[in-house]
Amino acid sequence: MKSCTKCGIEKDLACFGPRLRNKDGLASWCNTCKKVASLKYARSEQGKANRKEYIQTGQGKSATQTAYRKYREDNPDKIAAQKKLNNAIRDGKLERPEYCERCFAGGDIEAHHWSYLEEHQLAVQWLCQQCHTAEHQIVAVLPQSVCGFGPDSETACGYCTGFNAGAEDINGE
């Protein structure tokens, strides 16, 4: 057990990252405190400016390309869903609404895929960035079984039953 010097809570050693300079080889802040501090800095004006400057360097461009390539390799189902949706919008089969389906805010509206299965790729919920981010935070804490019932089940949730009425027509079903 070790106490975090930031929050003061005594935690298991697994809650601390490595820091070879320290006697015990572990960081003095727990992983949670470190993450909160990192996010706070990244969202600050100085953090944003430093990130923007880094991305313009050769090393930053290379890191961005590598991360993007890895994302595409690790998430072929997401890429396929995005392509199918963008093609449907381009071809006039789907129309991007002007307002968020949840809060009715205008502006840039994003498509939230509740499933990346091929038969659900066009069944999306149209959300503003704030609601889209909130939706992903909600989904992250839901148990896996919530969306595992299937659309024909009596206990199916909104993720299984879909948000877009008529998406089946676009899929050709």
Residues 54-84: pLDDT tens digits?
A: 999 999 999 999 999 999 999 999 999 999 9
- The pLDDT assigned to 116 comes to 87
| Residue 160 in this model has a pLDDT that exceeds 50 | no
The residue written with tokens 């299984």 in the block is 160
Residues 15 and 80 in one domain: no
68 and 82 belong to one structural domain? no
Both 135 and 67 in a single domain? no
When divided into structural domains, the chain yields a total of 3
Q: Do 68 and 81 share a structural domain?
A: no
Cα gap 71→66, rounded to integer Å = 9
Higher-confidence residue of 114 and 49: namely 49
Query: Over the range 84-107, which residues count as b (16 or more CB within 10 Å of their CB) and which as e?
Result: bbeebeeeeebeeeeebbbeeeee
pLDDT band at 171 (very low <50, low <70, confident <90, very high): very low
Residue appearing with tokens 């809060």: 103
- Average predicted confidence (pLDDT) for the chain: 84
Note whether 11 and 81 are same-domain residues.
no
Task: Note down the domain range covering 70.
Answer: 49-74
pLDDT digits (tens, 9 = 90+) for 101-148: 999 999 899 999 988 888 889 999 999 999 998 888 876 665 544 444
Q: For residue 6, which phi and psi values (nearest 5 degrees)?
A: -85, -55
Read off the pLDDT band of 10 (50, 70, 90).
very high
What's the predicted TM-score (pTM) here? 0.59
**Shared domain check, 156 and 85:** yes
